[in-house]
Structure 1
Amino acid sequence: MKKIVVLLAAFALFSCKSKAQEEKKDQDFKVSKTEAEWKAELSPEEFYVLREAGTERPFSSELNKEYSKGTFVCAACKTPLFKSENKFDSGTGWPSFDREIEGNVAYSTDKKIGYTRKEEHCATCGGHLGHVFNDGPKETTGLRHCVNGDALDFIPADNGK
């Protein structure tokens, strides 16, 4: 019985996700809002991806096939993240880019699925975007920024300029 109590206590200790820690993390970003504020502003799909680090189904985003000239911005805070000239068809079912707009994307390590991946976030609001892999176009950076379309909005280029 004592072993069971110790195991349950250890499980509870290591599996707890403190709201205080989450709030502190949000304070590190220029745009910081409560969970309720994000839920009120984002669609359920955007909230799932951006705030809960979810992944949309492959080939489900209209932005996967968006190749017009323009800029892909964070769906939560509108920070410019990727330029259309850096987008390519990776065949994976998610919008893919060979580079980000420098300074607007932050990175962390993700070990949630049993191996290490490089996770990317909006540097302004901390919203989860996707992951970076080393299987992109070799003639450019060799990187593939695999981004959830629900994390992005597309702003077409102004043809008047």
Structure 2
Amino acid sequence: MRRYYSPSGIEMRPEDFERTPISLFVADGTSLNEVPGRIGGPGEFIFSNVPNGTYYVKVGMDYVVTRDRDVDLSINLMGRPDVRLQDRSFVYADISLNHLEPWQYSPFPTPPEAPGPSLEIMSEEVPFFAILAVSDALAEGQTSWNESGRSIGNADTVPVFERERGDRIWVH
């Protein structure tokens, strides 16, 4: 098993299996038997004598069911591993977007959980995504959008953007 943490594809760090336990279980009738394993190289955990067939891998609180003999459990996460987070889930911002592609209204219905056509911002360097406006707030052909004191929220916390570290925001 290999597991690496990759923030935005910038750097690969091996998982510390002493902090994140990993277990492998094999079905035996109606019960599961744990197969002992050991830490291999960086980000690698080795289980020997695993019988052919389906087995269950537990990493932290997650399970993977597989028959594969070599499993890569790497994950890609947005953001640098050293991003500082604020103790709040929203910030106030002055927004001035100019020279946008002309806004086009979409008549297609969207489910209630989807925002539909919208103006969104996101960052690859820090874990951040927010919806600025939905189609009702934008006029057909509009190429700029300005708002002062806009409350912008994130799912958990708002990261600290650091220009000198190359942090950017993309508009979509």
Give the TM-score normalised by structure 1. Answer: 0.25
Higher helix share: 1
Higher strand share: 2
